[in-house]
Amino acid sequence: MNLMMQQGRLFVQRTLCKTCAMQMARRCLVTPQTAKVLPWRLNNIQRGYHNIRLETISEVWQQFKKEFKYLKRASANRPLDPKDLNLGLEIGTAVFLIKANARVHFSNGRWYGRQQKGERKVRLPAEEAVGYTVNAIDASGTLIDQNGFRDVMKLTGVKYLNIEGCPHIDDTCLAHLVHIRDSLTHLNINKCPSVTENGVATLHKLRKLERLNMSDLPKVRYSKLIASMLEDAVPRLRVNIISNLVDTEENRAKENFTEEDLGQTRTESV
């Protein structure tokens, strides 16, 4: 296998296999019988090369990865299966979330879904969950987008929602949280790369929200300012990014506090 440059493009030269050599022999009006009689001609044909453009390989690979990601995202946000809705909307939506690799907690005190990451065994809600409501959802790291998020918002009793590290959660999804504003008290949107300042600003409508985690949001530039504004707008809200920043600043101040500063404070007190 050799590399060659032709017309400003990089190619890979690979020796022809016997099958390709026979096909080229047919194109040259050489039948397999005559090729056996004249082995020298077939050997000369086998010295040909496949010219494979590297740009084409990379383009095909990138397109394949895009289609594979799209298929994974589409499979995680399929519409609710009517068979799953036979036991009610709560169980049907819970099964949808579990199929998207999330975990669901019912008011009967049980978690459903994968108990640990990488575990193949999945626990689905059945008749024992009939009559109970979903009050906690752990959808961290899933591929749920705004299409699947609409179905999640039909659960009006959700108190705890964890969507940390979801790449397709955007401002539209955060705007849909207004449908569960009467129940949602804890929200985790850490490491959501598609969330911007406009989406975080819509959280002021969640009047019962008590805890909000919004660290590591790359598209939110003024996270500290927005967090303080949200705490002023929502009565009982505490944003963890504010406390984390304050703790780090206090720790830095303690580290920079030397013995000389301690001596100066003592003399001032005297």
CB atoms inside a 10 Å sphere around CB 24 = 15
**SS3 for the chain, per residue?**
CEEEEECCEEEEEEECCHHHHHHHHHHCCCCHHHHHHCHHHHHHHHCCEEEEEHHHHHHHHHHHHHHHHHHHHHHHCCCCCCCHHHHCHHHHHHHHHHHCCCEEEECCCCEEEECCCCCCCEECCCHHHCCCCEEEEECCCCCCCHHHHHHHCCCCCCCEEECCCCCCCCHHHHHHHHHHCCCCCEEECCCCCCCCHHHHHHHHHCCCCCEEECCCCCCCCCHHHHHHHHHHHCCCCEEHHHHHHHHHHHHHHHHHCCHHHHHHHHHHHC
Indicate left, alpha or beta for 7 from its phi (over 0: left) and psi (-120 to 50: alpha). Answer: left
- Please tell me the distance from the alpha carbon of residue 135 to that of residue 236, in angstroms, as a whole number: 20
Per-residue pLDDT of the chain (270 residues; tens, 9 = 90+): 444 444 445 444 455 555 665 565 555 544 455 444 444 444 444 444 444 444 455 666 676 677 777 777 777 788 888 888 888 999 999 999 998 989 999 999 999 987 655 556 677 888 888 889 999 999 999 999 998 998 899 898 999 999 999 999 999 999 999 999 999 999 999 999 999 999 999 999 999 999 999 999 999 988 999 999 999 999 999 999 743 433 444 444 444 434 444 344 334 433
- The pLDDT of residue 135 is 94
Indicate left, alpha or beta for 113 from its phi (over 0: left) and psi (-120 to 50: alpha). Answer: left
Query: Contact, 108 vs 128, CB < 8 A?
Result: yes
Query: Contact, 200 vs 230, CB < 8 A?
Result: yes
Task: Quote the tokens at residue 106.
Answer: 């019912």
- The pLDDT of residue 21 is 55
CB half-sphere exposure, 152, CA atoms < 13 A: 34
Query: Contact, 187 vs 161, CB < 8 A?
Result: yes
- The pLDDT of residue 60 is 61
User: Is the domain defined by 136-244 classed in CATH 3.80.10.10?
Assistant: yes
- Please tell me the distance from the alpha carbon of residue 232 to that of residue 226, in angstroms, as a whole number: 10
The ranges assigned to domains in the chain are: 136-244
Place of tokens 């459903």: 112
CB atoms inside a 10 Å sphere around CB 122 = 14
